[in-house]
Amino acid sequence: MLSRHISTAAIILAFFHFDCSQLGSLSNGTSSEQQLMQTLVFGVAAKEGCSTQSLTPISNTLSYVHPVRTRYDIQNCSPSDLVSLGFTGNTSQLAKGLSGNSSDSVFYSLGNVVLPSANGGTNLEVSFSLKSGGSLTAYVYGSGTPISGPALRLTDSSKEQFYSNMSGDFAVVSKGTAALSPDTKYTYCIDFQYASSEQWINAWPKACSEVSQSDRSSMMMFPVMQMMSVPSYSGNKIGFILNGAKLTSFTIGSILSQVD
């Protein structure tokens, strides 16, 4: 018992011993170092496959974009682990992985994790798979409980969909790719972009690291795009509905688009 108290005290003292420069170095450190920081900050031990990591930012030619990227690895997370990552949700409708099977299988951030719209918006990269008839809905600049607001839905029944503030429902994007295949791993790189007092959605059906300069520098090269009827970016949450979907990781960062 005494040794347990000593260990706890040592951790607390170690935390208060960090100065700002040390915290900054940990945020850019190894996965193990960042798991230690997650443990100190949230009071919950991080584990392999259920942690956050700061990644090397992707540069942008737009002067108001300030590059940053944070990856959330959730492939080994149980629903109860979400709080250690700064998220919450309907945990009774989620399974380890994370996966869900209904429109009630939702989780979202507890606090502000989006980037300021003045910095061009927020990029969200998602790695996932779908069951037959399933869909993954990703909200950025959302609000409320459960979350609502600007969203992109990825499904095996149609091209990409977005939440339309004109119809009050999801609609197929004006420019998209094709319906997805079930039981297949996908990665999407999605910009919720803001410029000149307008908001719109761009996306590439691949990892953000694979998006080329030419892909980013012309709207003609955006395979997925929706400019009309996108709700205002008034919220500060990011969230997901896993309706027959498994989400293994997501990354929050600055936009990739270099067009405004």
Element (H, E) at 106: strand 99-109
| Cα separation, 82 vs 72, whole angstroms | 10
Element (H, E) at 7: helix 2-17
User: In the prediction, which pLDDT does 162 show?
Assistant: 98
Beta-carbon contacts of residue 162 (< 8 Å; ≥ 6 apart): 150, 151, 152, 153, 170, 171, 173, 201, 226, 229, 230
CB 82 within 8 A of CB 89: yes
- The CATH topology of domain 47-253 is Jelly Rolls (2.60.120)
How many other CB atoms sit within 10 Å of the CB of residue 148? 16
User: In the prediction, which pLDDT does 139 show?
Assistant: 98
User: In the prediction, which pLDDT does 47 show?
Assistant: 79
Per-domain boundaries in the chain: 1-45, 47-253
Joined together, the tokens standing for residue 232 give 């205002």
Per-residue pLDDT of the chain (260 residues; tens, 9 = 90+): 444 443 444 433 343 343 433 333 344 455 445 544 444 444 444 679 999 999 999 999 999 999 999 999 999 999 999 999 999 999 999 999 999 999 999 999 999 999 999 999 999 999 999 999 999 999 999 999 999 999 999 999 999 999 999 999 999 999 999 999 999 999 999 999 999 999 999 999 999 999 999 999 999 999 999 999 999 999 999 999 999 999 999 999 999 999 99
| Cα separation, 28 vs 34, whole angstroms | 8
What's the whole-model pTM score?
Answer: 0.84
User: In the prediction, which pLDDT does 10 show?
Assistant: 41
Helices vs strands, H then E, count in the chain: 4, 13
User: In the prediction, which pLDDT does 46 show?
Assistant: 60
